[in-house]
Amino acid sequence: MAKDVLCEVENCHFWAKGNLCSANQIYVVSNTGKKAETEQETDCQTFKQK
C-alpha cells in the first residue's frame, strides 16, 4: 500500500501542503463499469471541494 497519496487538486478539502492527500481513505471508481483501461476512465470520488 502506498505510504503517501499525492494530489495536485488544490481546491480539494483534503489537499495538503506538498501535494499530499489528507483523507483517511480514497475511493476511486471506473467510468466504464468494473474495469478501466486508462486513467481517463477513472474518477476520485473522495474529492470534496473546499
Residue 25 has pLDDT above 80, yes or no: yes
- pTM of the predicted model as reported, rounded to 2 decimal places: 0.80
Render pLDDT for 29-40 as a digit per residue (tens, 0 to 9).
Answer: 999 999 999 999
> How far apart (Å, rounded) are the C-alpha atoms in residues 34 and 49?
26
Phi and psi dihedrals of 3, rounded to 5? -75, -45
Render pLDDT for 2-24 as a digit per residue (tens, 0 to 9).
Answer: 789 999 999 999 999 999 999 99
Residue pair 8/19 in contact by the 8 Å Cβ criterion: yes
**Looking at the chain, which runs of residues are DSSP E strands?**
15-16, 20-21, 28-30, 42-44
Phi and psi dihedrals of 28, rounded to 5? -115, 135
